[in-house]
Amino acid sequence: MAQKPTIPKGTRDFSPIQMAKRNYIFNTIKDVFLLYGYQQIETPAMENLSTLMGKYGDEGDKLLFKVLNSGDYLKKVPGELLSSRDHVHMIPCISEKGLRYDLTVPFARYVVMHRDELQFPFKRFQIQPVWRADRPQKGRYREFYQCDADVVGSDSLINEIELLAMIDEVFKRFGVNIVIKVNNRKVLSGIADVIGAPDKLVDITVAIDKIDKIGIDNVNEELKEKGLSQEAVDQLEPLLNLKGSNAQKLDTLEQLLAVSETGKKGVEELRFVLGHVEQLGLKATVELDVSLARGLNYYTGTILEVKACDVEMGSITGGGRYDNLTGVFGMPGTSGVGISFGADRIYDVLNTLDLYPSDTISSTKVLFVNFGQKEAAASLHYVMQLRARGISAELFPDNAKMKKQLSYANGKHVPYVAMVGETEMASGTITLKNMETGEQSNLSLDQVVDMVK
């Protein structure tokens, strides 16, 4: 007996209805990207491991899917590594490539390789899948799509303001209420200075990035395990729980970080961004959250995350400023800032809130019933004319029972069924049935076009 087929954990098949919903998400985001002047690129699913390793911190490196070398992939492995099962040092011998972890690092590689062809500042967007060897759970998959927009070659904080406005526009179109949480890595660096642990910035950001998942007490324990003193942990906690308006939080931070030049610079940048965003009158709530860390090592300035207000879900969009990501590829001093929409989590949010437009899952607008050879030939003529006018139409291919053909229309959520029998052929008309109301009308082709459109 053949074994029942399965797919890897953390991956999914998508039905036609699901793909229609996903395409609605992709197309909505793409339309906003284009509205703001971004251009589309694509990069390979596989990158050299030398491109990917070391860009996401130790935690990220562990989540990279490595691709075995072709052929005898063990031939370059020294015998002592094989016998000791030292997989960490064995990886460079057996794997030269990996699946991309995100779209930002491949984008940095792209910029360096194509720098002579690009117009700076370069505004690009990219909608492609990424892979992470993570533990699958609700809202977290091993294969998922990201929808990224980045600007490189500009230090201006206007880029951050535009990205926040773009996020607001996307979720306004989706009808999702969101809160955009904003922080600055320079503020976190200033906090590390003030509590006497400047060398522990990475450990601090990686730990506090987990506050929502494991709680402040467990974060404090992790920080102590990383070498922070109890005094430093005690100083850090109240900074992560600042209360009040954005302006009040900034005033408090300005006082607390007065001895840190880096920290003061971060506060200054936040004042600029948050002040201008407030003047734009966005629909979304924009909130300064000092506990927001985003544990990716390449961020250097503004960082942001988006949460849905009406659904229990993790971050559905994130991003930030990176001042020298291209430097690791031999192109130092190129600043960039970008965001990434988590399409799969947005899909779950829209499903939970049932926010898809009513016509999203309908691909065919008109289905012509097949009454026989002559009628089918006449119907096919109408089908081609409707398609020429931009209306998706199809003819049921078989002369099957009416019940079966109407069932097919219902299964595909076709809003209109057209019937061309002997009477309609004689009068040059079409009988059109509204599948929602059940109403039928005898119409000319032009009238059918007007009704369907």
Q: What is the domain-level CATH number for residue 408?
A: 3.40.50.800
Determine the pLDDT at residue 89. 65
Best mean pLDDT range from 60-64, 76-80, 218-222: 60-64
Mean pLDDT of the 16-36 span: 96
Determine the pLDDT at residue 83. 65
Of the residues 328, 343, 361, which one is the last residue of a structural domain?
361
137 to each of 14, 103, 313, how far by Cα in Å? 18, 22, 11
User: What would the pLDDT profile of 252-264 be if each residue is shown by its tens digit?
Assistant: 999 988 999 999 9
Radius of gyration of the chain (CA): 28
Least confident of 56-60, 62-66, 183-187: 56-60
Q: Please enumerate in sequence order all residues whose Cβ is within 8 A of that of 258, keeping only pairs 6 or more positions apart, or say none.
A: 264
Determine the pLDDT at residue 72. 78
Q: d(Cα 417, Cα 366) in Å, to the nearest integer? A: 5
Q: Is 38 marked as binding a ligand?
A: no
On whether both 269 and 130 belong to a single domain, the answer is no
Residue 9 lies in a domain: no
Mean pLDDT of the 118-144 span: 91
Determine the pLDDT at residue 297. 67
On whether both 238 and 383 belong to a single domain, the answer is no
Residue 291 lies in a domain: no
On whether both 346 and 403 belong to a single domain, the answer is no
On whether both 214 and 332 belong to a single domain, the answer is no
On whether both 371 and 356 belong to a single domain, the answer is no
Residue 7 lies in a domain: no
Determine the pLDDT at residue 226. 77
On whether both 28 and 155 belong to a single domain, the answer is yes
Mean pLDDT of the 320-332 span: 86
CATH code of 50's domain: 3.30.930.10
Query: CA 348, 411, 15: angle at the middle one, nearest 5?
Result: 40
Best mean pLDDT range from 85-94, 314-323, 431-440: 431-440
Determine the pLDDT at residue 390. 95
| Confidence grade of residue 291 (pLDDT, cut at 50, 70, 90) | confident
Question: Residue 244: how many CB atoms within 10 A of its CB?
Answer: 11
User: What would the pLDDT profile of 72-112 be if each residue is shown by its tens digit?
Assistant: 777 776 766 666 666 666 677 777 899 999 998 999 999 99
| Confidence grade of residue 299 (pLDDT, cut at 50, 70, 90) | confident
Cβ proximity of 136 and 67 under 8 Å: no
Residue 303 lies in a domain: no
On whether both 170 and 197 belong to a single domain, the answer is no
Q: Is 322 marked as binding a ligand?
A: no
User: Closest Cα to residue 337, out of 191, 121, 170?
Assistant: 121
Residue 329 lies in a domain: yes
Q: Is pLDDT at 139 greater than 70 in this prediction?
A: no
On whether both 211 and 267 belong to a single domain, the answer is yes
Of the residues 328, 361, 394, which one is the last residue of a structural domain?
361
Residues facing residue 321 across a β-bridge: 337
Q: Is pLDDT at 193 greater than 80 in this prediction?
A: yes
Q: How many domains does the chain have?
A: 3
Determine the pLDDT at residue 296. 62
Determine the pLDDT at residue 363. 84
Determine the pLDDT at residue 241. 76
Q: Which residue has the higher pLDDT, 159 or 212?
A: 159
Residue 8 lies in a domain: no
Domain range for 376 is 366-452
Mean pLDDT of the 333-343 span: 92
Q: Is 145 marked as binding a ligand?
A: no
Q: Is 146 marked as binding a ligand?
A: yes
Q: d(Cα 274, Cα 237) in Å, to the nearest integer? A: 24
Cβ proximity of 158 and 123 under 8 Å: no
Residue 296 lies in a domain: no
On whether both 30 and 135 belong to a single domain, the answer is yes
Residue 426 lies in a domain: yes
On whether both 26 and 139 belong to a single domain, the answer is yes
Determine the pLDDT at residue 174. 98
User: What would the pLDDT profile of 142-180 be if each residue is shown by its tens digit?
Assistant: 999 999 999 999 999 999 999 999 999 999 999 999 999
Q: Is 137 marked as binding a ligand?
A: no
Q: Is 126 marked as binding a ligand?
A: no
Of the residues 326, 361, 396, which one is the last residue of a structural domain?
361
Q: Is 150 marked as binding a ligand?
A: yes
Q: Is 102 marked as binding a ligand?
A: yes
On whether both 48 and 108 belong to a single domain, the answer is yes
On whether both 385 and 354 belong to a single domain, the answer is no
User: What would the pLDDT profile of 378-410 be if each residue is shown by its tens digit?
Assistant: 999 999 999 999 999 999 999 999 999 999 999
